[in-house]
Amino acid sequence: MKKLINAPAAVLADALKGVAAAHPDLSVDFANRVVSRGSVTQGKVALISGGGSGHEPLHSGFVGLGMLDAACAGEIFTSPTPDQMLAAAQTVSAGAGVLYIVKNYTGDVLNFEMAAELAEAEGIAVKTVLVADDVAVEDSTWTAGRRGVGTTVLVEKIAGAAAEAGADLEAVHAIATRVSENGRSMGVALTSATLPAVGKPSFDLPEDEIEMGVGIHGEPGRKRVPLVPAAEIAEELVSSILADFDFTGAPVIAMLSGLGGTPLIELYAMYGDVAALLEQRGVTVERALVGDYITSLDMAGCSITLLRADEELLRLWDAPVSTAALRWGV
Amino acid sequence: MKKLINAPAAVLADALKGVAAAHPDLSVDFANRVVSRGSVTQGKVALISGGGSGHEPLHSGFVGLGMLDAACAGEIFTSPTPDQMLAAAQTVSAGAGVLYIVKNYTGDVLNFEMAAELAEAEGIAVKTVLVADDVAVEDSTWTAGRRGVGTTVLVEKIAGAAAEAGADLEAVHAIATRVSENGRSMGVALTSATLPAVGKPSFDLPEDEIEMGVGIHGEPGRKRVPLVPAAEIAEELVSSILADFDFTGAPVIAMLSGLGGTPLIELYAMYGDVAALLEQRGVTVERALVGDYITSLDMAGCSITLLRADEELLRLWDAPVSTAALRWGV
């Protein structure tokens, strides 16, 4: 294993030091492993997400104006604890309640539930939105139901804009739910990720095969197939997503996210094929993101996320955002 | 070789299709492989860069308001031709002259020189700034003198802001030269990149060694050393850069760029060590960028770039920019 780290057990703590050093506008609580905005806006609904580390920029890269108020970082591929999630709520709660944005993994779901109870006991109103957008499989290694993946980024951006504009907890929760329900994703792995603490690829994938529908922790997907040209991979991913949900007749926000180990030139090449397919199928992409947004350490591959939007969601998408990984309008 | 591509020879053309699809505000000239802004501002100095592909987001990801007017894409790790560079000048020249921003590789230098002559012959005033900031080695596989690497990103941003603010060609060239002369970089490779057309790693690096001072095409660096913790790698890179140039007593802009295959969590961990070292050595980092900005396909590793700035350069750094890969203030 060749990694740019000091020790497998130190990666997260070291990375948090780097986040603090690179982004003086953010506040890092090293004890609780919570990255939050440096200041709180009284009366604004606070958005909090979190999960296992190794998917960066998700979630800490999305903390800032117009998006998250705080992100809780678990160890790599490991849920953060309820204590961390409670600490985050205590730090950024500004009298208007907290929205927890939770990817559908059993540990995350249970821990955020417990944190919500603890926060409510302290008088902080909490609502939760669950993201379960991965069409690849029902149930998976650490998930009952569908896994939560790329739509999480879109929930954080769009609900974040609604909160910034002054919407109350019920309204922010309603917007987040609408995004969650109207987003679908699917990914493909060309290689496994290597966890620092494990030191070798976490699953074996032969040199001539790919995992179609892989999870962001390397959970098995739909099938292993021979390595085929990008256009065929795009066809499989796009067809699977469109078979699950109707994306015609509405403006669509599309995200093609690398999984961490695939160069940007390949992601753009892949997006060219995806965009052409979507056009053929009558899907109108109004906004597109191409790059590393939800990753799996150094895994090679990508995921596609589509959101059936509308004028309001597009307007919230376009609203100013200022985070380490997503920034415009400000 | 496992790549998300259709065919090795098609990667660049396919990626340009993806750029066009994802960024409708950009204009893609597929015949000349030039990515440019969708509109020209009369009387503004036009900034053009370019080079071999495989270093994305450099350069096409930096085309837009406040940065480049056009980027010429060569084949992977291969200089674009004078014809491409001339076509770019013809496309974005707006009556105030063109600045060519050139990384110091023999092919790039010769071809941009020829393009400048061709453009001048058509009545387009051209000035050129050469970036040769890599402290690792004098001369290298494709370079006489030092290689041009990360400072290129800072030249494009800062000179781009000056041009956007209405500076004339002489002033923009002077700013670009100041940035080029006051920036220094050095990188480290943990693995080789794999070129699509070659299909295997372009150099052999044993599982327990790293290449200190590697070039962005895998050119040899200063030495091969055993894989050591990130803090020791940071120490070697920072010491080498600081031994070459005095970065104390002025505000510094720091960039830690991944080389393409290293996850963001490792880059932040590395940046934590770099920031601590710089503070110990009396260097004051006023602005920091951490992420993939100048890459080498799927190479694992990173590079550090430091710029000795001043109030004017910081102000130009902070000015609005709106490109695919760098965006703020607008």
List, for residues B144-201, the tens digit of each pLDDT value. 999 999 999 999 999 999 999 999 999 999 999 999 999 999 999 999 999 999 999 9
- Mutation test of the interface with chain A: which of B62, B267, B268, B294, choosing the one with the most A Cβ atoms within 10 A? B268
Suggest the residue from B264, B286, B297, B305 to mutate for an interface test with chain A (most A CBs closer than 10 A). B264
Question: How far off is chain B from A200, nearest CA to CA, in Å?
Answer: 12
Q: Which of A23, A55, A59, A173 is catalytic?
A: A55
Is B300:B257 a contact under the CB 8 Å cutoff? no
Sign of the CA dihedral with B258 first, then B278, B66, and B123 last: negative
Question: Is A55 among the residues known to form the active site?
Answer: yes
pLDDT at A1: 85
Residue of A nearest to B75 (CA): A265
CA B83 to chain centroid, in Å, comes to 21
Is A301 in Cβ contact with B322 (below 8 Å)? no
- Whether the per-residue pLDDT at B218 is higher than 90: the answer is yes
| Residue B327, pLDDT above cutoff 90 | yes
Residue-level pLDDT at B330: 86
Instruction: State the pairing for strand pair B223-226/B209-212.
Output: antiparallel
Phi, psi of B159 (to 5 degrees): -65, -35
A15·B61 Cβ contact <8 A: no
Q: How do strand B327-328 and strand B321-322 relate by DSSP bridges?
A: antiparallel
C-alpha to C-alpha distance for A114 and A210, rounded to whole angstroms: 37
Buried b (16+ CB within 10 A) or exposed e, B104-119: bbebbbebbbebbebb
For residues A182 and A195, what is the distance between their CA atoms, to the nearest angstrom?
32
Nearest to B4 among A11, A18, A262 (CB): A262
Please compute, for residue A126, the number of CA atoms within 13 A of its CA located in the half-sphere on the CB side.
Answer: 25
Asked if A182 contacts A135 with a C-beta cutoff of 8 angstroms, the reply is no
Three-state DSSP class for B184? strand
Contact between B265 and A327 using a beta-carbon 8 Å cutoff:
no
What chain A holds in terms of domains, given with CATH numbers, is: 13-182 (3.40.50.10440), 183-320 (3.30.1180.20)
Under a CB-based contact definition with an 8 Å cutoff, are residues B150 and B214 in contact?
Answer: no
List A308's β-bridge partners, or say none: A252
Predicted confidence at residue A40, as pLDDT, reads 93
Give me the residues of chain A with pLDDT under 70, please. none
**B chain contacts of residue A268, beta-carbon cutoff 8 Å:** 14-16, 18-19, 22, 56
Cross-strand partners of B125? none
Both tokens of B49, joined, read: 């860069």
**Looking at residue B141, what is its pLDDT?**
87
Cβ-nearest to B302 among A4, A285, A290? A4
A-B interface: how many C-beta pairs under 8 angstroms?
Answer: 210
In B, which residues are within 8 Å of A5 by CB distance? 229-230, 266, 269
Neighbours of A40 (CB within 10 A): 17
B241-270 pLDDT, tens per residue? 999 999 999 999 999 999 999 999 999 999
* Strands A46-53 and A98-103, bridge-based pairing: parallel
Please give, rounded to a whole number of angstroms, the shortest distance from the CA of A100 to a CA of chain B.
23
| Residue B55 is a catalytic residue | yes
Lowest mean pLDDT among A198-212, B89-103, B287-301: A198-212
Q: What is the mean pLDDT of residues B70-95?
A: 98
